């Protein structure tokens, strides 16, 4: 399973995940608390420097991930040009891009296992109320394992459809797809019970 962690090792990979998340929260709060296009241009420039520090490959990967925001940036700028309030539009667009860029930065420099440690720490208080936190971790592992499995089965179903019909496989394969998923779930449940259960 591919994750969004950057393949380029940075110094930030070694920092504690909880600290990075706390910093991100603080930075996002500041971003939404202050106004002014010039200020936000500065924030974005500072963020760009952070992206550029680990090198060109890291910067390229980061920019590619931000590219999905362009329709929203275009929408905002167009809207504010029509309503003749370009400065406010620039502030909103800059703030959005910076906030998403900073959050992506944390995701890119934090391994899934480190994030899981934070989750384990956050869910510890739940144990007092009798919630089995180990079943949360098992469920997470199951999702990671079964997403590619189900994706393959979905592909097989759509190929089987194409073999029989000239039309595109549409919503009609979702029902057999869901039936397959339910059968898989029942098998997994049986296997878990056979191995001593939760």
Partner 1 sequence: MERSVALIAIFAALIAALGLLPNLMLTSGVPITAQSLGVMLCGTVLGAKRGGLAVLLFVGLVALGLPLLSGGRGGLGVFAGPTMGFVVGFPIAAFTAGFVMEQLRSLPVGLAAGIAAAVGGILVLNIFGVAGFMMVLNKSLIETLTVFSVYIPGDIIKVVLTGLITSGLARARPASVLSRTE
- What residues line the site for partner 1 (CB under 8 A)? 1-5, 24, 28, 65-66, 68-69, 72, 75-76, 79, 88, 92, 96, 99-104, 106-108, 110, 112, 115-116, 119, 135-136, 138-140, 142-144, 146-147, 149-151, 153-154, 158, 170-171, 174-175, 177-179, 181-186, 188-190, 192-193, 197-198
Cβ closest to partner 1, residue 2 vs residue 166: 2
DSSP symbol at 67: G
d(CA 150, CA 10): 34
**CB 153 to partner 1: min, Å:** 8
> Is the CB of 12 or the CB of 136 nearer to partner 1?
136
User: Closest distance between partner 1 and the C-beta of residue 123, in Å?
Assistant: 10
- Cα–Cα separations (whole angstroms), residue 140 to 16, 41, 59, 68, 109: 21, 39, 30, 27, 21
Distance, in Å, from the CA atom of 143 to the CA atom of 153, rounded to the nearest integer, reads 15
Nearest to 111 by CA among 13, 179, 45, 184: 13
- Report d(CA 185, CA 181) in Å as an integer: 6
Query: Smaller CB distance to partner 1: residue 48 or 192?
Result: 192
Q: Which is nearer to partner 1, 81 or 139 (CB)?
A: 139
Extract the runs of DSSP E, i.e. beta strands, from 70-119.
none
| Residue 52 beta carbon to partner 1: minimum distance, rounded to whole angstroms | 18
């Amino acid at each position: 399973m591919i994750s969004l962690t950057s393949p380029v090792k940075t110094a930030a990979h070694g920092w504690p995940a909880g600290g990075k998340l706390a910093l991100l929260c603080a930075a996002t709060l500041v971003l939404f608390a202050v106004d002014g296009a010039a200020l936000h241009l500065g924030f974005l420039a500072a963020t760009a420097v952070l992206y550029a520090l680990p090198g060109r490959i890291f910067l390229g990967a980061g920019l590619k991930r931000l590219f999905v925001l362009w329709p929203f940036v275009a929408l905002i700028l167009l809207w504010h040009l029509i309503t003749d309030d370009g400065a406010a539009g620039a502030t909103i667009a800059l703030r959005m891009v910076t906030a998403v860029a900073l959050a992506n930065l944390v995701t890119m420099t934090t391994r899934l296992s480190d994030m899981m440690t934070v989750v384990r720490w956050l869910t510890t208080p739940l144990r007092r109320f009798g919630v089995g936190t180990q079943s949360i971790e098992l469920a997470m592992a199951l999702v990671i394992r079964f997403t590619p499995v189900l994706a393959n089965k979905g592909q097989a179903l759509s190929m089987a459809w194409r073999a029989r019909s000239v039309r595109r496989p549409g919503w009609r394969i979702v029902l057999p797809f869901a039936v397959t998923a339910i059968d898989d779930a029942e098998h997994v449940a049986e296997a878990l019970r056979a191995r001593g259960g939760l």
